[in-house]
Structure 1
Amino acid sequence: MQPILDIADLAHRREAAEAVADGAALFYAFGNFCALAAKPDLETLHAMNALKGRPRDQVGSVTTTPELGNRVFDWDAVRLPWSALVATMADLNALGPIGFRGPAAAHVPSHLTVDGTVQLITPGDACPSNGLVGNILDLIGEEHLYITSANANKDNTHYAIAEIRKEFGHRDDVVFIGHRHERANRRRYPHHRPCSTSIIGFDSGALVLERHGSLDAELVARVAARHGLGLRIAAHERLPVRRYRRPLRAGRRAHVLA
């Protein structure tokens, strides 16, 4: 079984980054849950879809560092006030994991877009995975990574790295990196459930809650209203949190030293 590296350890982060640069799938701590990321090329997308049991050409989302997030979108095609939208996005990123869908910048490849839009998933500004992603991007010379949920197709996403390892740890083309104390980390995100992110769309000239995930719709609406924007709710049913067969004890460590 593959080891679980410690995301707080710089040497472990470098080891994980080099594995991803060599083509490995990255299962990693992402805000208060876990995600799967990899290089953004089409061949890798096909491999990740096969890993998860998805259709070969299913489109993926992107992730990047906070500094590069705005470069994912074509701001000339945005029909909302830029200052209000950027301020809303910044406040949501400060809270923790969130997703945004908007007009795709020209450099985003077509296999990571749908009808000219791109979906950016971020862990929030304070997540240590931002440093890991930055290391990977430096190694591969890209501005973003492919990202998707850390699960098999149609299952709810994982929030415990050791549980992901049970599913995928036998493979030699994956790498795992998480927190030593996951429950303590999840307490850093009091507004978020440990499930896939809520997604806010802004490609239609309005701010729309397209997926009601980890962050509550009412809180998203209050943040938008603070900057003079309304929020239309298109997703009323909230995503469920994955249930494990036995509770994860407060003192249980998730990592296994390499």
Structure 2
Amino acid sequence: MTVFGFPAAGGSASHFTRWRRWLPAGVAVQPVELPGHGARRQEPAIDDWPRLVAAGCDAVRDRLSGPYALAGHSFGALLAYEVAATLARTGPAPELVIAAGRNGPTTGLAHRPLHALDDDRLIESLGRLGGTPAEVLAEPALMRLALPVLRTDLRLAETYARPPRAALGCPILAVVGRHDRMADAAGALAWQQETVERFDLTVVDGGHFILDHPQVIDAVTARMTELLRRVGRPGAGTTNG
């Protein structure tokens, strides 16, 4: 089983490498680094959903070697969902989608849109909402350098509209922080509408950045352990529909 991880707005998918410390044996992690982010920061960021989803699908297919799950944080949760919807049609379909720190695709934002704010107001708003890691906010030069890509991702996330489509045929695990100002439990519950299979919601005692929270670790570990048992049975696994 492989877990492909998609990052938050302006962030690097390398954060998902930390999951290798605790995921069950038999589960590999493949961070999906987007153009303009992390190790690919010298490339121009993709500024429209169709090309971004296509790039995400290509990244998954290129490294696929068996059953897999998609995980995304915040903006990355929407991207993981869109990639899952595309691959459910074209194959191979995922076994699970993990959506962290993001309201469901049919639910409005839990905050006012940020992408059109000037630089100073954007930085101030992100600090107030907890939408950027404290270590990045503490480095003004680094923050200014990250703003163009961050703003591009925020615009995509904040103007996103779910296309008309059927619900996914794979389970969804949604996780959200009780003190998150960019998502909320009621909004995260809307992910239930996006699957005809099992849905789980875990609300943890944290803010926006919860990927390493002990309760998230427990929830993801439990679901991955169950999936490993299921996909190991003859004839098991998600169909492409």
TM bin, normalised by shorter chain, reads: under 0.3
Q: Whose helix fraction is larger, Structure 1's or Structure 2's?
A: 2
Q: Higher relative contact order at CA 8 Å, sep ≥6: structure 1 or structure 2?
A: 1
Q: TM-score, normalised by structure 1?
A: 0.26
